[in-house]
C-alpha cells in the first residue's frame, strides 16, 4: 500500500531495522577488517593491508591440527546424525505412527535440555561405562546434539515430496527397495544434503559441549580460539575468524545453490 | 507376516536408531546424574557410592548458589526483553517489506551461521582498550585516554543479545508472516489508526511467535557459560559457569551433577509451562 511506504511510522521502523542489521554485522565486519591489518597487534589503528596473518595461520601447527580435528569430527557427525535423522524423519512423514507428537518431542529433547546439562550427563555416564574423555566421546556428544536439528530440517523438506511418483514406480513393477534407491532417494537428496550441512556446521561451531568432552591436548577450532583468547586478542585470531566466517557462511550458501540446481534438474 | 503388520512395524524400525541413540545418550545419562548427585566426593578423589544428601544440601541452602541462580535468571530475562525490543520491529520490517523478504531474512540470519565464539570475541575488537570505539573517541577528542568498557555485566548482556537475536527475529517473523495483512487494512477502514490496528490486531496475533522466541532466548541465555568467560569479569559468573567449575576444574562430579539438575529443573519448568499453554508446534515452526 502506497500510504504505508511513505508514512513516517514506516520510515522509523525501517531506520530501526537498519540499526539492528548494523548491530549484527558491525562486529563481524571489524573482525574481517582487522584480519588484514599489517600491524603487530590485533587492534586499531589499521597500519596497512596485509595477508601476513593468514600466512601465519598456515604455519601454526596447533591451528592446523585443530582444523583437522574439527573437520573429521564434523564429517563423521554429519554422516551419523544425518543417517539417524533421515530414517526417523521418513517414519514420521511417511507413516501414521501412534503417539507421533510424543515421539517428535522425544526426538527434539536434546535441544530442549540445556547443552551444559547434556554435556555433564553424557560425560559422567560414558565415563562410568569406561569411555574416557576422547574423540569418541566428542563424536557421541556432537551426534546427539545435532540430531534434533537434522530431523527438523529434513522433516520440513520431506513433506514437500510427492508420494505419487513412488506409487507410480511401484505400480510399474519396481520393488520397494528399487523404488527407494532409484526414486525416493534422489528426490530426498536435497533434504539429506541440507540436514548433513546443518549437522556439520553446528558440530564445527560447537564449544559449549566440546569443552566438557574433549581430552586434554585435543583442540577443535572453537576451543583453540578460546584458548588463544586467554592471552589477548591477536591478529591471528581475527584471521582465523575470517576463515571460519567464510567457511560457515559460504558452505551453506553453496549447498543451497547446489540443492536448487539439483531440484531444477530433476524437474520437480 | 501380513502386509498390515509390516506396515505397522516399518516406522518403528526406521525410528529405532534415533530413539535408541537419544535414550542411551540423553535420557539414561540424565537419570544417571540424578543418582550420581547423591554420591559423595571423598578426599582421595574417588566418589563414594551411596545415598548422601550433602550435595543437595549444599546446592539448595548455600546462599552463594541461590544468588548466582537468581543473577543468571535476571541476566537471561534482561537479554530476552532486549532481544524482543530489538527483534520485533526488525521482524515486522522484514515481514511487511515490499522488497525481497527472503534476502532480508537471510541477511539477518547470516550471523546465526557464524561461529558463536567468533561473534562473542568480536566485541573485544569493538569495545577493547584499543578497539574501534575507543580509537574513534580518542580520534575525535572526546576522551584523552581509553575507557575500560569490557568485562562487566553489560558486555555479557551485549554478547548474549548478539548471539540470541536471530532466534527472536526468526520466530517473530514466522508468526507475523502468517498474519493476513488485510486484517490491518480492515481495522483501518473501520476507523482504527495504524497504531491502534497494530496494537489490537497484529500484536496479539503475533504473540505466539514472540513467546517462542522469548523462550529460546531465555533458555539458551540462562544456560551459557562461554559468554561470561569471554566478555565478563570475575564477578559475572553465571550458573553454568558453576557447573563447569565443579565438573572440569574441581572434578567434584557429585556436586556438579546436583547443580546441573538444578539448572535443568528450573529451565525445564519454564519449557513445561510454555508447552502447557502454547504447545511445541510454534517452537518447531521457528526452528525448522
* Tally of structural domains, chain A: 1
Mutate one of B10, B13, B25 to test the A interface: name it (highest A CB count within 10 A).
Answer: B25
Query: What is the pTM for the complete model shown?
Result: 0.90
**Residue B175 DSSP SS3:** helix
In a domain, A81, yes or no: yes
Contacts of B270 by beta carbon, 8 Å cutoff, 6+ apart: B215, B218, B219
Asked if the structure places residue A55 within a domain, the reply is no
Within a domain: A9: no
Dump pLDDT digits (tens) for A141-180.
Answer: 999 999 999 999 898 888 877 778 888 888 898 888 888 8
Q: Is A208 left (phi over 0), alpha (psi -120 to 50) or beta?
A: alpha
- The parent domain of residue A153 ranges over 60-265
Beta strand pairing call for B40-41 and B47-48: antiparallel
How far apart, in whole angstroms, are the C-alpha atoms of residue A8 and residue A11? Answer: 5
Nearest to B86 by CA among B5, B19, B167: B167
Residues of A whose CB is below 8 A from B244: 116, 211-212
A46 pLDDT above the threshold of 80: no
Those residues whose C-beta lies under 8 Å from the C-beta of residue A136, and which sit 6 or more positions away, are none
Q: Does B7 touch chain A (CB under 8 A)?
A: yes
Q: For A78-88, how does the pLDDT look when each residue is reduced to its tens digit (9 = 90+)? A: 999 999 999 99
Distance separating alpha carbons of residues A69 and A99, to the nearest angstrom: 40
CA distance B243 to B266: 14
- Tell me the mean pLDDT in the region B242-263: 95
Q: What is the pLDDT of residues A82-111, one digit of tens each?
A: 999 999 999 998 888 888 888 988 998 998
What is the least distance, in Å, from the CA of B24 to any CA of chain A? Answer: 9
Q: Give the per-residue pLDDT at B31.
A: 97
A259 part of a folded domain: yes
Mean pLDDT over residues A36-47, rounded? 72
Closest Cα to residue A24, out of B191, B247, B104? B104
Q: Report pLDDT for A199.
A: 94
Looking at every residue in chain B, the average pLDDT score rounds to 90
**C-alpha torsion sign, points B221, B224, B225, B226:** negative
- Flag whether pLDDT at B92 surpasses 90: yes
Tell me which chain B residue has its CA closest to the CA of residue A18: B90
Could you give the angle at which helices B116-127 and A221-229 cross, rounded to 10 degrees?
30
DSSP string, chain A: -HHHHHSHHHHHHHHHHHHHHHHHHHHHHHHHHHHTB-SSSSSSSP--B--HHHHHHHH-HHHHHHHHHHHHHHHHHHHHHHHHHHHHHHHHHHS--TTHHHHHHHHTHHHHS-HHHHHHHHHHHHHHTT--SSHHHHHHHHHHHHHHHHHHHHHHHHTTS-SHHHHHHHHTT--HHHHIIIIIHHHHHHHHHHHHHHHHHHHHH--TTHHHHPPTT---HHHHHHHHHTT---HHHHHHHHHHHHHHHHHHHHHHHHHHHHHHHTT-
Query: DSSP assignment, residue B23?
Result: I
- A112-129 pLDDT, tens digit each: 899 999 999 999 999 999
Q: How confident is the model at residue B287 (pLDDT cuts 50, 70, 90)?
A: low
Q: Flag whether pLDDT at B103 surpasses 80.
A: yes
pLDDT digits (tens, 9 = 90+) for A217-235: 899 999 999 999 877 777 8
**Do the beta carbons of residue A192 and residue A86 sit within 8 Å?**
yes
What is residue A1's predicted lDDT score, i.e. its pLDDT? 45
All structural domains of chain B:
55-287 (1.10.3720.10)
A240 domain residue, yes or no = yes
Kindly state whether residue A146 falls inside one of the protein's structural domains.
yes
Q: Is A207 on the interface with B (CB under 8 A)?
A: yes
Q: Which of A87, A106, A147 sits opposite B14 (nearest CB)?
A: A87
The number of CA neighbours under 13 Å toward the Cβ of B110 is: 22
Is there a domain that residue A21 lies in?
Answer: no
DSSP B32-90: HHHHHTTSEE-TTSPEEPS---HHHHHHHH-HHHHHHHHHHHHHHHHHHHHHHHHHHHH
User: Is A103 inside a domain boundary?
Assistant: yes
Q: How far is B179 from chain A (nearest CA, A)?
A: 16
Alpha carbons A116 and B223: distance in angstroms, whole number: 7
Report the pLDDT averaged over residues B164-193: 89
Q: Can you give the CATH number for the domain in which A95 is found?
A: 1.10.3720.10
Among the listed residues A209, A199, A217, the one whose alpha carbon sits nearest the alpha carbon of residue A74: A199
CA distance B262 to chain A (A): 10
Most B CBs within 10 Å: which of A113, A117, A205, as the mutation test of the B interface?
Answer: A117
Task: Summarize the confidence of residues B107-129 as an average pLDDT.
Answer: 88
Closest CA to A222 of B232, B116, B261: B116
Q: Do B18 and A151 touch (CB under 8 A)?
A: yes
Would you say residue B127 has pLDDT above 60?
yes
Closest Cβ opposite residue A88 in set B18, B92, B284: B18
Give the pLDDT confidence score for residue A264 in this predicted structure.
Answer: 67
**What does the pLDDT average to over B192-220?**
90
Q: Does B93 touch chain A (CB under 8 A)?
A: yes
Question: B263 and A117 in contact by Cβ < 8 A?
Answer: yes
Total CB pairs under 8 A between chain A and B: 251
The answer to whether residue A57 neighbours chain B at the CB level (below 8 Å) is no
Chain B from 127 to 146: CB within 8 A of any A CB: 128, 130-132, 135
Question: Is the Cβ pair B19, A107 closer than 8 Å?
Answer: yes
- Which residues in chain A (139-198) have CB-CB distances under 8 A to chain B? 140-141, 143-144, 147, 149, 151-153, 155-156
pLDDT over 90 at B42, yes or no? no
Tell me whether B32 touches chain A (CB under 8 Å). yes
Q: Mutate which of A8, A17, A137, A257 to test chain B, going by most B C-beta atoms within 10 A? A: A17
- DSSP class of B97: -
Percentage of chain A beyond pLDDT 90 is 49
Element (H, E) at B225: none
Amino acid at each position: 500500500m502506497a500510504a504505508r511506504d511513505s508514512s513516517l511510522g514506516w520510515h522509523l521502523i525501517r531506520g530501526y531495522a537498519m540499526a539492528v542489521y548494523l548491530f549484527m554485522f558491525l562486529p563481524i565486519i571489524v573482525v574481517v577488517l582487522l584480519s588484514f591489518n599489517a600491524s603487530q597487534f590485533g587492534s586499531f589503528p589499521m597500519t596497512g593491508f596485509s595477508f601476513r596473518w593468514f600466512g601465519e595461520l598456515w604455519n601454526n601447527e596447533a591451528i592446523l591440527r585443530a582444523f583437522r580435528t574439527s573437520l573429521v569430527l564434523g564429517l563423521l557427525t554429519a554422516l551419523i546424525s544425518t543417517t539417524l535423522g533421515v530414517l526417523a524423519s521418513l517414519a514420521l512423514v511417511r507413516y501414521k505412527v501412534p503417539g507421533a507428537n510424543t515421539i517428535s518431542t522425544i526426538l527434539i529433547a536434546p535441544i530442549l535440555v540445556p547443552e551444559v546439562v547434556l554435556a555433564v550427563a553424557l560425560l559422567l555416564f560414558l565415563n562410568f561405562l569406561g569411555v574416557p574423555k576422547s574423540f569418541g566421546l566428542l563424536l557421541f556428544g556432537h551426534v546427539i546434539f545435532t540430531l534434533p536439528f537434522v530431523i527438523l530440517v529434513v522433516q520440513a523438506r520431506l513433506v514437500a515430496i510427492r508420494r505419487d511418483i513412488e506409487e507410480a514406480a511401484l505400480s510399474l513393477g519396481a520393488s520397494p527397495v528399487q523404488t527407494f534407491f532409484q526414486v525416493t532417494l534422489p528426490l530426498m537428496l536435497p533434504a539429506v544434503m541440507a540436514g548433513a550441512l546443518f549437522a556439520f556446521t553446528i558440530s564445527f561451531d560447537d564449544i559449549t559441549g566440546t569443552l566438557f568432552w574433549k581430552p586434554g591436548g585435543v583442540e577443535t577450532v572453537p576451543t583453540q580460539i578460546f584458548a588463544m583468547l586467554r592471552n589477548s586478542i591477536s591478529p591471528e585470531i581475527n584471521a582465523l575468524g575470517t576463515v571460519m566466517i567464510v567457511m560457515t557462511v559460504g558452505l551453506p550458501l553453496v549447498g543451497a545453490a547446489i540443492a536448487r540446481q539439483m531440484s531444477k534438474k530433476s524437474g520437480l | 507376516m501380513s502386509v498390515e503388520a509390516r506396515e505397522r512395524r516399518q516406522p518403528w524400525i526406521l525410528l529405532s536408531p534415533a530413539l535408541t541413540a537419544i535414550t542411551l545418550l540423553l535420557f539414561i545419562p540424565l537419570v544417571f546424574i540424578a543418582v550420581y548427585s547423591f554420591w559423595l566426593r571423598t578426599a582421595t578423589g574417588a566418589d563414594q557410592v551411596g545415598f548422601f544428601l550433602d550435595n543437595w544440601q549444599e546446592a539448595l541452602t548455600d546462599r552463594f548458589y541461590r544468588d548466582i541462580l537468581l543473577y543468571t535468571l535476571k541476566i537471561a530475562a534482561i537479554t530476552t526483553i532486549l532481544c524482543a525490543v530489538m527483534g520485533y520491529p526488525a521482524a515486522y520490517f522484514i515481514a511487511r517489506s515490499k522488497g525481497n523478504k527472503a534476502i532480508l531474512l537471510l541477511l539477518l540470519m547470516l550471523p546465526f551461521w557464524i561461529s558463536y565464539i567468533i561473534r562473542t570475541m568480536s566485541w573485544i575488537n569493538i569495545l577493547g582498550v584499543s578497539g574501534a570505539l575507543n580509537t574513534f573517541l580518542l580520534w575525535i577528542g572526546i576522551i584523552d585516554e581509553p575507557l575500560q568498557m569490557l568485562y562487566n555485566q553489560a558486555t555479557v548482556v551485549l554478547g548474549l543479545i548478539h548471539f540470541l537475536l536471530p532466534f527472536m527475529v526468526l520466530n517473530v517473523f514466522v508468526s507475523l508472516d502468517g498474519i493476513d495483512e488485510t486484517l490491518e487494512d480492515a481495522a483501518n477502514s473501520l476507523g482504527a489508526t495504524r497504531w491502534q490496528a497494530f496494537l489490537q490486531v497484529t500484536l496479539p496475533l503475533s504473540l505466539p511467535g514472540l513467546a517462542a522466541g522469548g523462550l529460546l532466548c531465555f533458555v539458551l541465555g540462562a544456560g551459557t557459560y562461554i559468554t561470561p568467560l569471554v566478555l565478563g569479569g570475575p564477578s559475572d559468573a553465571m550458573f553454568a559457569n558453576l557447573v563447569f567449575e565443579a565438573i572440569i576444574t574441581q572434578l567434584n562430579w557429585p556436586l556438579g551433577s546436583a547443580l546441573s539438575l538444578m539448572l535443568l529443573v528450573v529451565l525445564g519448568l519454564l519449557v513445561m509451562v510454555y508447552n502447557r499453554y502454547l504447545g511445541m508446534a510454534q517452537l518447531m515452526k521457528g526452528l525448522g
